[in-house]
A and B are shown apart, each in its own frame.
Chain A
Amino acid sequence: MNEFLDMGGYGKYLWPAFALGFGIVVLNLVLALNSLTSAKQEAKRRMEMSQ
């Protein structure tokens, strides 16, 4: 396991690179879902105001 994490001495560069890349993958999904939720709430508010 330690050998796998060490990646031949390159682990200190490799794992932060994967954390950054896949962190941005997760972050983009969260930001997109938040944007959709707030757009829905905004549209619903406008609907209620116009009624």
Chain B
Amino acid sequence: MATWTWFHRLASPPHVYAFARRWTPWFGGFAALAMCAALYGGLVLAPEDYQQKDAFRMVYVHAPTAWLSLMIYTTMAVAAAVGLIWRMKVAHAAAAACAPVGAWFTVAALGTGMLWGKPMWGAYWVWDPRLTAELVLLFLYFGYMGLRAGIEDPAKADKASAVLAVVGVINVPIIKFSVEWWNSLHQTATVMQMGKPKMDFDMLWPLLLMFLAFALYFVAVLLIRLRAELLRRERNASWVREVLA
């Protein structure tokens, strides 16, 4: 019963708006602290890799951005599915708020990956399954945003873009397992794998901390964008007048 009360409150725009306003500084503050500590750990404290030398330190920016690009798409697809199934406007607003952030982090993952690829593989870009699937992810984000922008009626835009987000989620496991299913230049998983991670603990903790920092940061940015979305959608509602008074 308590679970359903919580779920119903999630469907209430003024409740979600107030929650977002209250918690954004906390998520943002902890994200900034964790990012600084993880940067120091990764760039200064972690020892160099025996094969990749100092170039391995690119993992501290590439892996979190790539992971976030997938996590944001998954969050967007889940929110879109909730919006479709329960016709929850807040869920559609959350999905819409995810898209630009996810697209930017896909650009970051591709860009940092290219800068790592040049010294390790000898080329900025190869049509490798992992890289190609990540590029498809960027086009999915563009498609989602383009579809929303192209449909004038917000309810229709919500539905059409949600279907695209849900169908496109098939690309997430393809990206994750591409390095195992096909021959790939990209290295296999070193952290997110069954059993013990392959990394030494001195290298691992800054990376895990950076993952946490990026996750907290994403929540903070999502909450800010969600507030903007709710204000635009609910501009004629009485609670908006009260909030802005």
Contact = CB atoms under 8 A, between A and B. Distances in A.
Interface string A1-38: 00010011111011011101110110111011101101
17 contacts: A8-B53, A9-B54, A10-B55, A14-B58, A17-B61, A18-B58, A21-B61, A21-B112, A24-B107, A25-B35, A27-B104, A28-B101, A28-B104, A28-B105, A29-B220, A38-B228, A39-B228
The winner among A8, A43, A46 for most chain B CB atoms within 10 A is A43
A29 B224 CA distance: 9
Contacts of B58: 13-14, 17-18
Given A10-B55, A14-B55, A36-B225, 14 more contacts: A7-B54, A8-B48, A10-B54, A13-B58, A14-B115, A21-B65, A21-B111, A24-B108, A25-B35, A28-B101, A28-B105, A40-B231, A42-B232, A43-B240
Closest 8 CB pairs of A and B: A21-B61, A39-B228, A7-B54, A8-B54, A39-B231, A10-B55, A32-B224, A17-B115
Given A24-B104, A24-B108, A28-B104, A18 B54 contact: no
Interface of A: 4, 7-11, 13-14, 16-18, 20-22, 24-25, 27-29, 31-33, 35-36, 38-40, 42-44, 46-47
B241 A47 contact: yes
Contacts of B48: 8
B53 to A, nearest CB: 5
A16 B116 CA distance: 10
B244 A13 contact: no
A8 B43 CA distance: 12
A36 B104 CA distance: 18
Contact of A32 (B57, B62, B221): B221
A43 B244 contact: yes
B115 A22 contact: no
Given A21-B108, A40-B244, A33 B224 contact: yes
A43 to B, nearest CB: 5
Contacts of A38: 228
B220 to A, nearest CB: 8
B100 interface: yes
A36 B54 contact: no
Contact of B231 (A21, A22, A31, A43): A43
B237 to A, nearest CB: 10
Contacts of B25: none
Contact of A16 (B35, B57, B115): B115
Contacts of B231: 36, 39-40, 42-43
Contacts of B15: none
B236 interface: yes
